[in-house]
Structure 1
């Protein structure tokens, strides 16, 4: 049989004295060293530590999965809610877009027309068609000042004011480029899947729009946190909400904004309408009254 390994006693010196337990041959140093080695190599300790980390990672994955599933359900449920007023305006907007796209006439009337049209002229054209269809449609420009949480900005969209409801006047927003407002270049797969549910053209009441903004901004914050990236101030809830609920200025195509004066324009002074004879006489000068014809 192989000879048993005998550990040399570890001697702890204190004033040249040897600390050893009497009758055992085991020193205090041996006991301490054995305990340290057991802790370092014990499979129980290693297994437990790894299990805790795996459990934490597993919980994190499950929590993320539950979050995105919940956001999907909330978003789809909010998008499905639609009143009869919203449905009618949505259908009228789709018909207006279909007519514009099928027409050979260019609707862009800018000084330098954009090939395929521009958003400004498209909004104006759709607003005109909705007005012709009997809807009280206006062009809304939302403006907001800068703050500690968000920079200043402005945003333009359409709005239909419906007075047929028993609850009074209902405001229905029309955003022609709704999905693009929430798209992010470095978004995660979960966030992009959520955005894919959004319609390109949104037509809905204020309360439904507020709910969508809250869901999407919460998802954007979670997405950036998972990717360990900073969320830009223009992506935060306060900024996105200001786009549709800031200080509004309403106008109709070819008119001044609602609330502005529609009185006759002030006459502009012209040298051709300036009576030099009256001025000269007022100053005591003698001038000929011969009229001069302006060719």
Structure 2
């Protein structure tokens, strides 16, 4: 992440904390939307409102540290700094960097976010992986959105904490709405706004890098069940045999967590 991007992210988070004003649960303008878009709005509200106690604890810890972040520490990567603070508080947190190769309709790319593994139940051994994104809302914003799509993105939180299941539902809903927004504007949807591309950011196969401490190794994942699948195409015949190059696309994906 460049220094300018880092400064923008830090400023955005600080502005969000200073405002302390969550997105409205139900805005007046949403009532005037067409029935289909109104239904999408209500569905998104239901998804965002289904947070667990664990998600709330992680978010509150993040906000606590961001409020106390010292000026001298702003030269450090915000995400790396936050991972260190979360670990000090007993969270099994890691910085994750995803990367993926080009496929049909999905250009290559990379992304960075934080994940943490928490206990699913207070008195149980089951754990659950939570994804923490400090710049979540802007990932779905469009340059020329329709009123219906802007209503959806205005509802999204700047800082997201949630499970893979919750995130996948949000991606599916927002990407479908984005596609319709582009169509209504007479535009073609760009490949970096497709469901596959957006899933690649957070839900690709996960692999911990060597050198992690034992606590972090406990959350190592060989794969994610939400790893996106590329469009099905008929493989070309080759004298080398084997299947299409697309069949191994996502086996080449990697997530480096540090």
Fold match (TM-score > 0.5): yes
1:125 corresponding residue in structure 2: 81
Matches of 1:87 and 1:179 in 2, distance apart?
18
Structure 2 SS opposite 1:170 = strand
Q: 1:217 to 1:146 in 2, by over 3 A?
A: same
CA contact (8 A) 1:139 1:253 kept: no
2:223 corresponding residue in structure 1: none
State how many pairs are aligned: 182
* 2:52 pairs with 1:83: yes
1:183 corresponding residue in structure 2: 141
Structure 1 unaligned regions, length at least 5: 1-63, 110-120, 260-295
Runs of 4+ aligned structure 1 residues displaced above 6 Å come to 252-255
Structure 1 SS opposite 2:174 = helix
Matches of 2:97 and 2:205 in 1, distance apart?
8
Alpha-carbon offset, residue 164 of structure 1? 5.2
Q: Deviations over 1:98-134 (max 9, x none)?
A: 111xx2323324xxxxxxxxxxx00001101100111
1:208 corresponding residue in structure 2: 166
2:250 corresponding residue in structure 1: none
Structure 2 unaligned regions, length at least 5: 1-32, 221-258
Alpha-carbon offset, residue 240 of structure 1? 0.3
Alignment of 1:164-183 (within 5 A): 165=121, 166=124, 168-183=126-141
Matches of 2:80 and 2:136 in 1, distance apart?
17
* 2:104 pairs with 1:148: yes
CA contact (8 A) 1:183 1:195 kept: yes
Matches of 1:242 and 1:213 in 2, distance apart?
11
CA contact (8 A) 1:139 1:252 kept: no
TM-score when scaled to structure 2? 0.66
Of the three residues 80, 105, 115, the one matched with 1:159 is 115
Q: Deviations over 1:174-223 (max 9, x none)?
A: 00000000011011121111100001000011110111111100100110
Q: Cα RMSD over matched residues?
A: 2.3
1:273 corresponding residue in structure 2: none
Matches of 1:123 and 1:252 in 2, distance apart?
20
Q: 1:138 to 1:81 in 2, by over 3 A?
A: same
Structure 2 SS opposite 1:214 = helix
Q: 1:237 to 1:106 in 2, by over 3 A?
A: same
Q: 1:252 to 1:171 in 2, by over 3 A?
A: farther
Structure 2 SS opposite 1:107 = helix
CA contact (8 A) 1:173 1:206 kept: yes
Structure 2 SS opposite 1:127 = helix
